[in-house]
Amino acid sequence: MNQTQTGRREALRLVSVSKVYGEQQPVPALRNVSLALAPGSFTSIMGPSGSGKSTLLQCAAGLDRPTTGQVFVAGQAMPEGDETQLTEFRRERIGFVFQQYNLVPYLTVEQNVVLPARFAGRRVDRRVCRDVLARLGLAKLVDRLPAELSGGQRQRVAIARALVNRPAVLFADEPTGALDTGSGREVLSMLREAVDVFGQTVVMVTHDPLAAAHADAVTFLADGAIVDHLYRPSAAQVAERMTHLDEYAAAAAGR
């Protein structure tokens, strides 16, 4: 395998990724995880608390470094150099949507959306920005401040901010966790539209079967390892599978 490029037709590939925290008393958070995702796909990552799903997102998104293994984004290996290289890699290829919106309170909606590009020193294409805002139902809110928006609207601004730079992969970490049911459903529809209309690749960590069912596929983790997958599942199928994860983990470990 080429050590700098692989899987050009894949938006994301993890190759035997493990993550261990601590030295004197090492705690494995990920165990030899391999995963490949196609462009324009929507994948939910699920698992019980402590299963490694947040660690998987952090390693895949370049927010943390694997102990062993490699991560490729759009065919390019995650750099193993200094933090400056890693930051530039993330800016060019990766978008983020988190439970907390991370909007700058004194900037308008449009200013928040273009802020990452300005930090990166890139020219902002206003037409692309306005098109994304319009598609996410924010066209009439471009001059509003975050305090003037609902929680669902703020999360839509965060999605727009991530989409404007056309990342190879958009990572969403519990994006509906701080929202009421209606706003959460609205945000999930926006992520679904990002895949179906923009051709975006989305990877979402969630604990909610209803949220996970918006994805094309659900990948289940237990004890730091991938133990199962479901494709185009219903919320009921996801919930049922979650109740048996310990059994799958034991079978995968040969116990």
| Res 223 pLDDT > 80 | yes
Whole-prediction pTM value?
A: 0.88
Q: For residue 180, what is the domain's CATH number?
A: 3.40.50.300
Q: How many domains does the chain have?
A: 1
- Mean pLDDT on 146-155: 91
pLDDT over 60 (residue 140): yes
4 falls within a domain: no
Q: Pick the range with the lowest mean pLDDT from 95-104, 113-122, 156-165.
A: 113-122
Sign of CA dihedral 102, 184, 222, 60: negative
- What local confidence, expressed as pLDDT, does residue 8 receive? 52
Residue 16 lies in a domain: yes
Residue 27 domain flag: yes
Q: Which residue has the higher pLDDT, 22 or 73?
A: 73
Q: Could you report the per-residue pLDDT of 156-211, keeping only the tens digit for each?
A: 899 999 888 889 999 999 988 888 888 888 889 989 989 998 899 999 999 999 99
Q: Are strands 202-205 and 169-173 parallel, antiparallel or unpaired?
A: parallel
Could you tell me if residue 5 is inside a domain? no
Rounded to the nearest integer, the mean pLDDT of the chain is 88
The pLDDT, as a whole number, for residue 7 is 44
Does residue 154 register a pLDDT over 60? yes
Residue 50 lies in a domain: yes
Domain assignment of residue 133, yes or no: yes
Q: Which of 171, 176, 173 is nearest to 203 (CA)?
A: 171
- Domain range holding 36? 12-252
CB–CB of 238/208 below 8 Å? no
138 has pLDDT over 80? yes
Q: Is the residue at 1 inside a domain?
A: no
Query: What confidence category does residue 128 fall into, taking pLDDT thresholds of 50, 70 and 90?
Result: confident
The Cα-based distances of 49 to 29, 164, 203, 218, 220 in angstroms read 11, 32, 18, 16, 12
Q: Is pLDDT at 10 greater than 70 in this prediction? A: yes
Q: Is the pLDDT of residue 57 over 90?
A: yes
Residue 179 lies in a domain: yes
Give residue-wise pLDDT tens across range 22-45: 888 889 999 999 999 999 999 999
